[in-house]
Amino acid sequence: MGKVKIKKKAIWIDMTPMSDVMVLLLTFFMLTSTFVKNEAVKVLTPGSVSELKVPENNVLSILIDSRGKVFLGWDKPGDMEAALSTMADQFGVSLNGTQMKNSRSATNIGVSMEDMGAFLSQDAAHMNDYQKDKGVPTDSIDGGMSEFQLWVKTVTDNNSDMKLAIKADEKTPYKVIKKVMSELQDMNQNRYYLITSYKKVEE
């Protein structure tokens, strides 16, 4: 007696639900992700049990590395350009259109106004390498305000909603942090955030 051959049927799987889920997950991660800025120097912040979050908008970040070099960062390129234009006028520094355009690529500014032209002539890939050993000067000019103070004053004058946040390395000398805070207090800037790494309280 001959064998009965069973007709094979092609298996069809509906992938529509899976593709819907993948699109939803992708959309969720795109909308909730926050991108880390490529800062001029790497800073390892000290631990803290505080859960107070720094605002995401209108923040002037004061970055202090382990050697005490000071860098300034903005969350909006437009604020940086406005402050840079004012500072260039105050110091008599002439910046061309290309250099002003390059300022939008700078994640931080950490040079004196004297070096600003050379700094902004670098391409985006080499800006951080150029400035990492310099920093914004905190020494007073002719007994007046320091360049650091002038930057802060210019930024806060241009945007009254601007908030200050200090992000210092855990190995930064205390005297440097104290000097930065003292210069802010001299300007009546007594409210600022101290950025730390969250550390749970051990039971």
- Residue 46's pLDDT is 64
Of 101, 31, 39, the closest CA to residue 70 belongs to: 39
User: How much is the pLDDT for 34?
Assistant: 58
At 33, give phi and psi (nearest 5°): -75, 145
pLDDT by 10-residue block (mean), the chain, 203 residues = 67 79 84 62 64 77 91 83 90 89 85 92 87 89 88 90 89 90 91 76 49
Instruction: Provide the pairing of β-strand 47-48 with 193-194.
Output: unpaired
The pLDDT of residue 179 is 92
Model confidence pLDDT, tens digit, residues 136-167? 999 988 778 999 999 999 999 988 888 999 98
Q: What is the pLDDT of residue 38?
A: 61
How many CA atoms lie less than 13 Å away from 163 in the CB half-sphere?
14
Task: Output the pLDDT for position 203.
Answer: 44
Closest listed residue to residue 112, CA positions, set 138, 85, 82, 81: 138
Please give the C-alpha separations between residue 64 and each of 43, 114, 127, in angstroms, as whole numbers.
Answer: 8, 20, 17
Residues 6+ apart with CB under 8 A from 116: 84, 87, 88, 93, 95, 109
Kindly give the residue spans of alpha helices, DSSP state H, lying in the chain. Answer: 16-32, 77-91, 97-102, 116-120, 127-131, 147-158, 174-186
Q: Is the Cβ–Cβ distance between 99 and 124 less than 8 Å?
A: no
Per-residue pLDDT, 44: 60
Q: Distance (Å, rounded) from C-alpha 194 to C-alpha 203?
A: 25
Token code pair at residue 167: 């992000």
Domain boundaries, the chain: 47-198
Q: CA distances (Å), 6 to each of 3, 9, 10, 161, in order?
A: 9, 9, 13, 77
